Amino acid sequence: DAGITQSPRYKITETGRQVTLMCHQTWSHSYMFWYRQDLGHGLRLIYYSAAADITDKGEVPDGYVVSRSKTENFPLTLESATRSQTSVYFCASSEWGGGQPQHFGDGTRLSIL
């Protein structure tokens, strides 16, 4: 099925651990994005990618790493998880960029103990 899928849907881990959230899209959209959603803050952009091997920081990039070796995949890694990174993470893709309609995945709820 065409779409954007995130995995895992739920994840519990401990502070200091490395964790990777996966995102896969089947539309061949050029642009992909990672957001976190927290109460009182709305969606905030962590990183985005304009094409394979091109990534750039968003509003809240500290503590996160991304890569994009293939157009369809955009994994997000927390190198050493902290409690403040407990959040719901959404991946999105867009054909023409952030100011155009984005298609979102169903999110990953991440809890860091």
Partner 1 sequence: EDKVVQSPLSLVVHEGDTVTLNCSYEVTNFRSLLWYKQEKKAPTFLFMLTSSGIEKKSGRLSSILDKKELFSILNITATQTGDSAIYLCAVNSGGYQKVTFGTGTKLQVIP
Written as one string, the DSSP assignment of the chain is: --SEEEE-SEEEE-TT--EEEEEEESS--SEEEEEEEETTTEEEEEEEEEETTEEEE-S--TTEEE--SSTTB--EEESS--GGG-EEEEEEEESS-TTS--EE---EEEEE-
Confirm or reject binding of residue 43 to partner 1 (CB under 8 A). Answer: yes
Applying CB under 8 A, does 45 fall inside the site for partner 1?
yes
- Asked if 31 interacts with partner 1 (CB under 8 A), we say yes
Closest approach of Cβ 2 to partner 1, in Å?
A: 14
Using the rule CB under 8 A, which residue among 41, 79, 83, 84 binds partner 1? 41
Query: Which residues in 78-97 contact partner 1 (CB under 8 A)?
Result: 90, 97
Smaller CB separation from partner 1, 12 or 96:
96
Residue 101 contacts partner 1 per CB under 8 A? yes
Compute the distance between CA of residue 42 and CA of residue 101 in angstroms, rounded to an integer: 17
92: amino acid identity, one letter: A
Residues forming contacts to partner 1 in the complex (CB under 8 A) are 31, 33, 35, 40-45, 48, 50, 56, 58, 90, 97-107
